[in-house]
């Protein structure tokens, strides 16, 4: 009986360790799907800057080339690009 209990505890420990390792990458991800949208919109009321920020973040996250355009859009794009990361 004691042997069976030790086996169950050991198996439970292995299962918990496996599940923890499987979920670890998603727990460590700091950017949510909508992070760019909310973060950029909280910075300014400028629609052009906000769109540039979102586009820059998206482009960098998706490993696209840096293409900032001009004006306020370019300023926002640069900030968004800095927040993104190509993986």
Going from N- to C-terminal start, the domains of the chain cover: 1-30, 33-87
Predicted TM-score of the model (pTM): 0.59
The answer to whether 53 and 36 have CB atoms below 8 angstroms apart is yes
**46-65 pLDDT, tens digit each:** 889 999 999 999 999 899 99
Q: Buried b / exposed e across 7-18, counting CB within 10 Å, b at 16+?
A: eeeeeeeeeeee
Which parts of the chain sit beneath pLDDT 70? 1-3, 26-34
């Amino acid at each position: 009986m004691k042997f069976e209990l030790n086996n169950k505890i050991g198996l439970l420990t292995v299962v918990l360790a496996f599940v923890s390792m499987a979920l670890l990458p998603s727990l460590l991800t700091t950017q949510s799907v909508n992070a760019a949208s909310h973060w950029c919109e909280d910075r300014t009321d400028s629609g052009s800057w906000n769109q540039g920020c979102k586009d820059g973040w998206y482009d960098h996250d998706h490993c696209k080339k840096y293409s900032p355009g001009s004006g306020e859009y370019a300023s926002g794009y640069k900030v968004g690009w800095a927040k993104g990361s190509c993986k």
